[in-house]
Amino acid sequence: MATEKEILDALADYQVQCNNNKRLRRMQRDWSKLLHFVAEDTGDVFTMNVVKGEIISNEAGAKGTPDIIVTTHSESLCDMFWGDLNPSQKYLDGEIRVKASQEDVVRLDAITMIIWPDV
Amino acid sequence: MTTLRKILKLRTVVSTSAGMALATSCYLAGLQVATILVGELAWISILVAGLFCLLSSMCFSELTSLYPTAAGIKLFIQNAFNEKAAIAIGMFYVILGISMVGAESFLLSSVLSGSFEMISPHFDKFFWMIIFILFVGYINYRGIFITGLVQDILTYLMIGFLILVSFYAFNLKGIDITTALQSSQFTLSNIIKAAGVGVFLYVGFEWVTPLAEETTNYRLIGRGMMIAIGLLSITYSLFVVAMYMGLTKEQLQSGTPIPHILFAQNLFGPTGMVIFIIMSILASVTSFNAGLVNTSRFAYAMARDNVLPRVFSRLHPDHATPWVSILALVIFAIAISLLILITGQYLFIILMAAALECIIYVVMALCVIRLRKKYPDKERSFKIPFGKLIPILTIVIFAGLAIGIFTDVTKDYMGNVLFSNYWVALFMVAFAIFTTLYTLLVVPVFKKKAAERAKTRKRRRPGRE
């Protein structure tokens, strides 16, 4: 079970990886979304604000009305943000659940695929 | 529960479900139903097929309420049986499903080449086919999505228009079913046979299940599918009979692939023809576009899951679309279309699609039964009433319809045999063997390679290196 701090640390690293990746920034340049990540085992919720492909903020708690809600185990959230987990596989196995349009699901997965292509 | 900023409403779930099923090939399939039965009574088989599809939609509803995800069918089968079965059946369903584009593009090109002659009918068909497939491929490649509102407008306009035209035709021609009732063709066996083909009219209604992720109430998907089937039943019942009555005997005997265009011309002259051509284009584009979106995302997800070669997971650097998957499917669609153009056997694809749907409905019903046994306490926002009765009925009915399709022969309006349907069965069995062998022999190689890559990769998470 990952703690809130562990997930926030992972999110901070994820933010740096995403924002420093030119290829990703180019691909997501029109993508502005508010995301909620829900750790179903601990009940923790995290809010990520993406504006034109740049992650502006990550914070604990559910802020605003999201465009995308990702729900999974806290460990999976943590591993996903550290790039240690293939979100597509977990999604296809039903371990990660996403509430969003199909386009957003692909774009979300694209982040991991581009930052860590060998995952 | 936190809600999404943008959620789909029932109206859009219905229009998407019905819109997927409304395609140019449906007019021809409808006429095939009328040919098997008696034209004026085709509505009976269409309603029967709709009723059967309603049973299947209940199975989809329960499964979607259990696993509300775009990974839908793969996840249902994986959890009910195992991953290998899910991959083999999923690939079988999705790849054979996209071959429907072959029939659709052939019929749309027939519509266009029959209306505007450029060089020669054969070349014109080829030209329009390629243009149609490339156009839809390009929309997908650019990541242009048909919004819910556009889908609503298109679907409800088409349904409303078809119903109005049907009533106009009935009013003009008058309707008398007494002769039809006395026909030797009007038998229970023919009603069921025609219903088997009639299933094609509803093909794609279940492709709305991936939208579960865009709703907050999963029951909407089930309700939407059922309303869509109801709307389609009424629309097709009226329109197929009207179209049959509105065609001349010579037109029926010609085995035309564009009955709705000839019907519109008979009824309204060139203006009607143009309206129906526009409707055909819209219906084909929306159906194929949605099909290509779903299929290319499926291929992308399979590649990410190390089931297909990784190249299929490549995303376009600007549009974030799985362009390799889209390109591969466009090439596949063109190949199938060319095959149909050369052989002219578009009915083969229509029958295969109908049989494919029957098989998938049987698999879904089996999943319902199996998942109830495996996870009796798992939360379901919708559970089919009357225990196992409806899933069992679904299995029996659709297995029977599939067998009915495979053991029949396809005839034209004059009663001439076009081909024996066991060829359809043989083709499908061959393809099933291919997907099974692929799953058993090739997928493990990809999975092994992925596992080796994972072993050499250092974990980034602190404390877990």
d(CA B155, CA B145): 16
pLDDT band at B2 (very low <50, low <70, confident <90, very high): low
Residue B320: its chain A contacts at CB < 8 A?
27-28, 31, 103, 106-107, 110
pLDDT of residue B53: 96
List, as one string, the DSSP characters of B210-271.
GGGGG-S-THHHHHHHHHHHHHHHHHHHHHHHHHHHHS-HHHHHTT-S-HHHHHHHHHHHHH
Over residues B242-255, mean pLDDT = 90
Residue A71: its chain B contacts at CB < 8 A?
none
User: Which amino acid, B20?
Assistant: M
Token pair in block for residue B106: 């052939």
Nearest to A27 among B3, B213, B315 (CB): B315
Model confidence pLDDT, tens digit, residues B415-440: 788 899 999 999 999 999 999 999 99
Nearest to B304 among A62, A69, A109 (CB): A109
d(CA B86, CA B371): 14
Residue B214: its chain A contacts at CB < 8 A?
99-101
pLDDT band at B188 (very low <50, low <70, confident <90, very high): very high
Are B459 and A99 inside 8 Å of each other by CB? no
Chain B residue at shortest CA distance from A36 = B2
Model confidence pLDDT, tens digit, residues B274-289: 999 999 898 888 888 8
Query: How close does chain A come to B350, measured CA to CA in Å?
Result: 28
d(CA B398, CA B392): 10
Nearest to A89 among B67, B143, B305 (CB): B305
Q: Is B82 left (phi over 0), alpha (psi -120 to 50) or beta?
A: beta
Are B461 and A98 inside 8 Å of each other by CB? no
Helix or strand holding residue A48 (H, E): strand A45-51
pLDDT higher than threshold 80 for residue B324: yes
Residue A113: its chain B contacts at CB < 8 A?
304, 313, 315
Model confidence pLDDT, tens digit, residues B386-402: 999 999 999 999 999 99
* Residue B162, in any domain of the structure: yes
Token pair in block for residue B25: 């090939």
Chain A residue at shortest CA distance from B290 = A102
Order the strands of the A68-72 sheet from edge to edge. Answer: A54-60, A45-51, A33-39, A68-72, A97-99
d(CA B149, CA B8): 10
**Which residues, numbered 71 to 90 in chain A, qualify as contacts with chain B under a Cβ-Cβ cut-off of 8 Å?**
78-79, 82-84, 86, 88-89
Residue B297: its chain A contacts at CB < 8 A?
102, 105-106
Query: How close does chain B come to A90, measured CA to CA in Å?
Result: 9
DSSP conformation class of B442: I
3-state DSSP helix/strand/coil % of chain A, to nearest 5: 45, 25, 35
Are A103 and B143 inside 8 Å of each other by CB? yes
Query: How close does chain A come to B457, measured CA to CA in Å?
Result: 8
Q: B356 CB contacts (<8 Å, ≥6 apart)?
A: B93, B96, B97, B428
pLDDT of residue B4: 80
Q: Containing domain of residue B246, as a range?
A: 10-456
Q: Which of B379-383, B399-403, B412-416 has the weakest average pLDDT?
A: B412-416
Q: Which of A59-68, B196-205, B355-364 has the weakest average pLDDT?
A: B196-205
- In chain B, what percentage of residues exceed pLDDT 70? 99
- Length of chain A in residues, anyone? 119
Q: What residue ranges define each of the domains in chain A, with the CATH number in brackets?
A: 4-115 (3.30.1050.10)
d(CA B397, CA B401): 6
Are A107 and B461 inside 8 Å of each other by CB? no
pLDDT of residue B211: 83
H-only helix segments in B305-417: 323-343, 346-374, 389-407
Q: What are phi and psi of A58, to 5 degrees?
A: -135, 130
d(CA B349, CA B97): 10
Query: How close does chain B come to A70, measured CA to CA in Å?
Result: 10
pTM: 0.89
Count of CA atoms in the C-beta half-sphere (13 A) of B64: 27
A94 close to B (CB below 8 A): yes
pLDDT of residue B43: 95
d(CA B360, CA B136): 26
List, as one string, the DSSP characters of B5-20.
SS---HHHHHHHHHHH
A103 close to B (CB below 8 A): yes
Give me the total of CB pairs closer than 8 Å, taking one residue from chain A and one from chain B.
Answer: 109
Token pair in block for residue B202: 């509803």
Residue B464: its chain A contacts at CB < 8 A?
84
Asked if B35 and B179 count as a contact pair (C-beta separation under 8 A), the reply is no
d(CA A36, CA A101): 14
Q: Domain count for chain B, please give it.
A: 1
d(CA B210, CA B70): 4
Residue A115: its chain B contacts at CB < 8 A?
none
Chain A residue at shortest CA distance from B143 = A103
Count of CA atoms in the C-beta half-sphere (13 A) of B137: 21
d(CA A36, CA A34): 7
Are B320 and A27 inside 8 Å of each other by CB? yes
Angle at CA of residue B76, ends B72 and B81, nearest 5°: 150
pLDDT of residue B415: 77
**Mean pLDDT for chain B overall:** 90
B274 close to A (CB below 8 A): no
pLDDT of residue B235: 97
CA A65 to chain centre: 16
A115 close to B (CB below 8 A): no
Model confidence pLDDT, tens digit, residues B101-130: 888 888 889 888 877 788 888 899 999 999
Give me the long-range contacts of B161-166 (CB less than 8 A, separation at least 24): B161/B275, B161/B279, B162/B235, B162/B238, B162/B239, B163/B234, B163/B235, B163/B238, B163/B239, B165/B239, B165/B242, B165/B264, B165/B267, B166/B238, B166/B239, B166/B241, B166/B242
**Which residues, numbered 72 to 111 in chain B, qualify as contacts with chain A under a Cβ-Cβ cut-off of 8 Å?**
74-75, 78-79
Asked if A12 and A60 count as a contact pair (C-beta separation under 8 A), the reply is no
Asked if B96 and B295 count as a contact pair (C-beta separation under 8 A), the reply is no
d(CA B48, CA B46): 5
Residue B75: its chain A contacts at CB < 8 A?
92-94
Residue A119: its chain B contacts at CB < 8 A?
457
For residue A59, give the 3-state DSSP assignment.
Answer: strand
- What residue has token string 């943000």? A81
From first to last of its 119 residues, chain A has per-residue pLDDT tens of: 999 999 999 999 999 999 999 999 999 999 999 999 999 999 999 999 999 999 999 999 999 999 999 999 999 999 999 999 989 889 888 899 998 888 888 888 888 888 887 77
d(CA B95, CA B308): 13
pLDDT higher than threshold 60 for residue B1: no
* Residue B462, in any domain of the structure: no
The CATH number of whichever domain residue B75 belongs to comes to 1.20.1740.10
Nearest to A78 among B321, B322, B461 (CB): B461
Report the Cα–Cα distance between both ends of chain A, in Å, rounded: 22
Token pair in block for residue B435: 């997907």
d(CA B402, CA B254): 28
Q: A73 CB contacts (<8 Å, ≥6 apart)?
A: A39, A40, A41, A95
pLDDT of residue B92: 93
Q: B362 CB contacts (<8 Å, ≥6 apart)?
A: B394, B395, B398, B399, B402
d(CA B76, CA B94): 15
Asked if A11 and A81 count as a contact pair (C-beta separation under 8 A), the reply is yes
**Which residues, numbered 1 to 60 in chain A, qualify as contacts with chain B under a Cβ-Cβ cut-off of 8 Å?**
9-10, 13, 23, 26-28, 31, 34, 36, 45
Burial class (CB in 10 A: 0-12, 13-18, 19+), B445: exposed
pLDDT of residue B175: 82
pLDDT higher than threshold 60 for residue B221: yes
Residue A37: its chain B contacts at CB < 8 A?
none
Q: Given the DSSP bridges, would you call strands A33-39 and A68-72 parallel, antiparallel or unpaired?
A: parallel
* Residue B267, in any domain of the structure: yes
Model confidence pLDDT, tens digit, residues B30-77: 998 998 888 889 999 999 999 999 999 999 999 999 988 777 888 999
